[in-house]
Amino acid sequence: MDSALIPEGVERCSFKRFTLGMIIPAALVIWGLYAAYLCWFKGLNQTNMNDSYGFALWIWADLAVIAVGGGAFFTGFLRYVVGKDELKNIINFAVLVGFCCYCSAMLILAIDIGQPLRGWFIFWHANVHSMLTEVAFCLSLYLTVLAIEYLPLLLENRKLDQVPFFHNLGHNMHEVMAVFAATGAFLSCFHQGSLGGVTGVLYGRPFGMREGIFIWPWTFFLYTWSAAACGPCFTMLSCKITEMITGKKLVKDNVYNLLAKISGWMLGTYIVAKIADTLWWAIVTVPTTGFTFMEFYNNSNNFHGLWILILEIGVCGLLPVAILVRKKWRENSSLFFTAILLAVIGVCVNRWVMVMQPMAMPVMTFDQWVLYLPSWQEWATTILPVAGGIIIIALSYRYLPVFPQERELNPVEKS
């Protein structure tokens, strides 16, 4: 029934099957919206956050989706600014995933703040010294950029493309896309960095605090770098998952390979920097605050101990680096899949550590390590954008020519 909207020369499942597939994500979205309604109308008492845990699951989710959404800016940067032409075959999807991630971040922020109707005060009464201000500005501008980058793809829908104006608009936008992509990369560098700065500047919280350069703590650069490294991994991961669900090969291996290689090197350099940062922080920064490095890990209530650091740097850092950098290993599809999955987990763990631990970690000597378990409302509203993202990606895949190589890789037999 929707065949007129489906791109030419590709095969899609039946509308019924598609609808059936959308039931679970749609249900999750409804569940999430109900939780969001509770948070908006009854207040944040619906969460399990408290005065010690003002930053919790949501902020982590925000940082994580933005980090993994970094694939859009970095792939765009490689494609339009550096000129890696092969990447045109995955850029649409990268933009799409990025767009979903950034929409998620905005939505979560809108639920997270205590007075959503006053959220715009961050623009109106901006305090330029605040990292969050920088985040909000760059985030909303970059979301605009992503929307602009997504628009031409939308215009390529078979039905829309028939309108001459839309066709021309899409065509023109393609021509100047490099400018937009460069702007996006610039914005992204800043807000990814600012998000790193969010905890890095907290000089009252030794666990999060980092030294740095000018107004930027080292985490500023580490966040940008890790997003650039792990964002493409998430793009590839999503792409692989899409391939699994659709049962089709959508992007050629050489594209994966190129992106994986770049990611591997990015992740490798990042991990070196991260280790250096951790060492400097542990040996130089932390003692000036009166703490020892191990105090952050062997506190009585801290059940994960040092393992979380080993997980982040070793299992989800060095291991994927080794796989991605070595040609033979990354060409092995299961190793490749493991590597990108670990890289994505690694960046999420990093964001978790940087949000949750500075909150939990007692600073006053007579303070307690506070444990926190999110309420179902928090989980539901965190799952909401994920489910929403799945729906957007599914719709886009169904009705838009997201993968330029799809037709070539999956020729449709003319009946």
- The residue among 282 and 383 lying less far from other proteins, judged by its C-beta, is 282
Tokens of 127: 């305090």
Tokens of 357: 């631990």
Of the candidates 203, 268, 263, the residue with the CA atom closest to the CA atom of residue 232 = 263
What is the spatial distance between Cα 26 and Cα 34, in angstroms, rounded to a whole number? 12
Enter the DSSP assignment of 213.
E
> Which residues in the 99-138 window bind other proteins by CB under 8 A?
112-134, 136-137
- Residue in 21, 183, 257, 302 binding other proteins, rule: CB under 8 A: 183
Enter the DSSP assignment of 269.
H
Indicate the Cα dihedral angle 382, 385, 389, 391, nearest 10°.
110
Closest approach of other proteins to the CB of residue 213, in Å: 6
Closest approach of other proteins to the CB of residue 382, in Å: 17
Give strand pairing partners of 217.
212
Give Cα 276 distance to the centre of its chain.
24
What is the spatial distance between Cα 228 and Cα 237, in angstroms, rounded to a whole number? 15
Which region among 78-86, 98-106, 172-180, 231-239 touches other proteins (by CB under 8 A)?
172-180
Q: Evaluate whether 256 touches 339 at the Cβ level (below 8 Å).
A: no
- The residue among 168 and 333 lying less far from other proteins, judged by its C-beta, is 168
What is the spatial distance between Cα 97 and Cα 393, in angstroms, rounded to a whole number? 7
Closest approach of other proteins to the CB of residue 258, in Å: 26
53 binds other proteins (CB under 8 A): yes
9 binds other proteins (CB under 8 A): no
223 binds other proteins (CB under 8 A): no
Closest approach of other proteins to the CB of residue 205, in Å: 6
154 binds other proteins (CB under 8 A): no
- The residue among 31 and 190 lying less far from other proteins, judged by its C-beta, is 190
Q: List for the chain the helix, strand, coil content (%; round to 5).
A: 75, 0, 25
141 binds other proteins (CB under 8 A): yes
Give the x/- contact pattern for other proteins in 339-368, rule: CB under 8 A: -------------------xx---xxxxx-
Which region among 89-97, 195-203, 301-309, 399-407 touches other proteins (by CB under 8 A)?
195-203
List the alpha helices (DSSP H) in 201-318. 218-246, 253-280, 286-288, 307-309
- The residue among 254 and 301 lying less far from other proteins, judged by its C-beta, is 301
| Residue count (the chain) | 415
Give Cα 106 distance to the centre of its chain.
12
Closest approach of other proteins to the CB of residue 299, in Å: 13
> Burial level of 365, CB count in 10 A (0-12/13-18/19+)?
exposed
Closest approach of other proteins to the CB of residue 64, in Å: 17
- The residue among 43 and 305 lying less far from other proteins, judged by its C-beta, is 43
- The residue among 301 and 332 lying less far from other proteins, judged by its C-beta, is 301
Which region among 19-27, 91-99, 183-191, 346-354 touches other proteins (by CB under 8 A)?
183-191
Closest approach of other proteins to the CB of residue 45, in Å: 4
173 binds other proteins (CB under 8 A): yes
- Residue in 31, 80, 218, 397 binding other proteins, rule: CB under 8 A: 218
Closest approach of other proteins to the CB of residue 217, in Å: 4
Enter the DSSP assignment of 47.
S
What is the spatial distance between Cα 193 and Cα 235, in angstroms, rounded to a whole number? 20
Of the candidates 233, 267, 241, the residue with the CA atom closest to the CA atom of residue 69 = 233
Which region among 17-25, 29-37, 158-166, 241-249 touches other proteins (by CB under 8 A)?
158-166
What is the spatial distance between Cα 41 and Cα 55, in angstroms, rounded to a whole number? 20
257 binds other proteins (CB under 8 A): no
> Which residues in the 363-392 window bind other proteins by CB under 8 A?
363-367, 370
Closest approach of other proteins to the CB of residue 100, in Å: 20
The size of the interface with other proteins (CB under 8 A), counted in residues, is 92
Q: Evaluate whether 297 touches 291 at the Cβ level (below 8 Å).
A: no
Give strand pairing partners of 216.
213
> Which residues in the 63-92 window bind other proteins by CB under 8 A?
none
- Residue in 11, 13, 17, 54 binding other proteins, rule: CB under 8 A: 54
30 binds other proteins (CB under 8 A): no
172 binds other proteins (CB under 8 A): yes
What is the spatial distance between Cα 397 and Cα 408, in angstroms, rounded to a whole number? 16
Tokens of 9: 């020369």
